[in-house]
Amino acid sequence: MATRAALCVAGAALSLYALHVEHEVSRDPSYRAACDLAPAVSCTRVFASRWGRGLGLVEALLGRDSAANVPNGALGLLYYLLQGVMGAVPGRVAASALLWTSLAAALASLWLASVLAFGLRDLCLVCLSTYVLNALLLALNWRRWRRLPRPKTA
71 SS3 class: strand
User: From CA 67, how far away is CA 33, in angstroms rounded?
Assistant: 26
Identify the CA nearest to 77 among candidates 15, 9, 19, 10: 15
Number of domains in the chain: 1
Give ∠ CA 57-51-63 in degrees, rounded to 5: 45
Global confidence as pTM: 0.91
Q: Running DSSP on this structure, what letter comes out for residue 103?
A: H
Q: Is residue 59 part of a domain?
A: yes
Sign of CA dihedral 86, 92, 95, 100: negative
Q: Is residue 42 part of a domain?
A: yes
| N- to C-terminal Cα separation, the chain | 34
Q: Running DSSP on this structure, what letter comes out for residue 148?
A: S
Q: Is residue 56 part of a domain?
A: yes
Identify the CA nearest to 74 among candidates 130, 2, 114, 6: 130
Rg over CA atoms, the chain: 17
Length of the chain: 154
Quick one: pLDDT at residue 154? 66
Q: Is residue 154 part of a domain?
A: no
CATH (domain of 102): 1.20.1440.130
Q: Is residue 152 part of a domain?
A: no
Q: Is residue 103 part of a domain?
A: yes
Residue range(s) defining the domain that contains residue 71: 2-147
pLDDT tens track of the chain, all 154 residues? 799 999 999 999 999 999 999 999 999 999 999 999 998 999 999 999 999 999 999 999 999 899 999 999 999 999 999 999 999 999 999 999 999 999 999 999 999 999 999 999 999 999 999 999 999 999 999 999 999 888 777 6
User: From CA 42, how far away is CA 126, in angstroms rounded?
Assistant: 9
